[in-house]
Amino acid sequence: MTAPPPFSVIEHETLDSTNDEACRLASDGVAEGTVVWAHRQKAGRGRRGRRWQSPEGNLYFSAILRPAASPAVAAQLSLVAAVAMADTLAELLPEGAPVEQKWPNDVLVDGKKIAGILLESSGAVADRVDWVVVGCGLNIAVAPDETTLPATCLAEEGATSVDRKAVLMALLDSLQRRRREWDTAGIAPVRTAWLSRARGLGHEITVRLPTHEFKGQFLDMDDSGALIVRLPDGSEKSVTAGDVFL
C-alpha cells in the first residue's frame, strides 16, 4: 500500500466553513492531503446541524483524504482524527494534563470541550468513497460561550505553544502518523488509544437520540466506532449516532 502524501495547506483569512470549501475542492478533484485552513469562519458547522462558533484566535481546518475504503470503513477516520487531536494536545499541554476522548469524537481537557471533528464524505462508487473531508476545530485562544458543553482552550490550560500555525503543523503530523497506522494496522490501535483516554468508561451515562434519551453503563466502543451501553435490564445496546452526557 502506498503511503498517503504529506499535507499541503491553503490558508484563508475568512471562509463560511472550511468543510464547505474542502468538500467543493474534493469534488473538483484536488489531491489527497490538501488542507483548507481559515483564521475565522462565518458559518462554522458542528455535528448534528449545530453551529461551531469560529472567532479569530482558534484553529479551523479541513483535510481532504482519499482512502481506498467503503463508507463504513472511511467513517473510522473521525476516530483517527480525534485520537490524533488528543495525541497532539497531550504533547502541547503540561505533563499529566487530563486530555480525554468523549464519544463520538470530542476531545476534552479537564472535563471541558476543547476540540471537535466533523467528517463528511462523497457518495460511494462500487462501495468505495471518492473523498473524505476531516474538519477539525480546536480552541486555542478563546473558549466560546453558548456551547452545549462547557468549553476550554489551550491558552486557559497552560499550553506550551498557542501559535496557530505551529499547532496546525503539529496536528497534521499526528494525523499523518495515525492515518498511516490505520492504513497498515486497521482501527485496532486507534480504538485502544481512544479507550485508554475515554471519559466515563464503566460509568453511568445518558445517551440522547433525536427522539428520546436513555441511561446505561458505558461498557465499550467497538471496532466500527459504535458505543456499547449496558441497559438497566442487563441487555447491551450499540449506539451509532447521538450525544452522550456523563
Q: Does 47 interact with ligand BTN (rule: CB under 6 A)?
A: yes
CA nearest to 74, candidates 159, 134, 13: 134
Of the candidates 119, 134, 100, 186, the residue with the CA atom closest to the CA atom of residue 7: 134
Contacts of ligand BTN in 92-151 (CB under 6 A): 106, 116-118, 135-137
Q: Using CB atoms, what's the residue nearest to ligand BTN?
A: 116
Q: How far apart are CA 174 and CA 168, in angstroms?
A: 10
Q: Which residue has the cell 461551531?
A: 52
| Nearest one of 246, 244, 205 to 225, comparing CA atoms | 244
Choose between 34 and 62: whose C-beta lies nearer to ligand BTN: 62
* Residue from 45, 178, 179, 199 binding ligand BTN (CB under 6 A): 45
Of 7 and 60, nearer to ligand BTN (C-beta) is 60
Unique residue bearing C-alpha cell 453511568: 204
74 residue type, one letter: A
Q: Of 2-21, which residues contact ligand BTN (CB under 6 A)? A: 17-19
When the beta carbons of 219 and 246 are compared against ligand BTN, the nearer one is 246
Q: Considering the rule CB under 6 A, would residue 44 count as an interface residue with ligand BTN?
A: yes
Q: How far apart are CA 195 and CA 44, in angstroms?
A: 29
Which residues make up the interface to ligand BTN (CB under 6 A)? 17-19, 41, 44-47, 50, 52, 60-62, 106, 116-118, 135-137
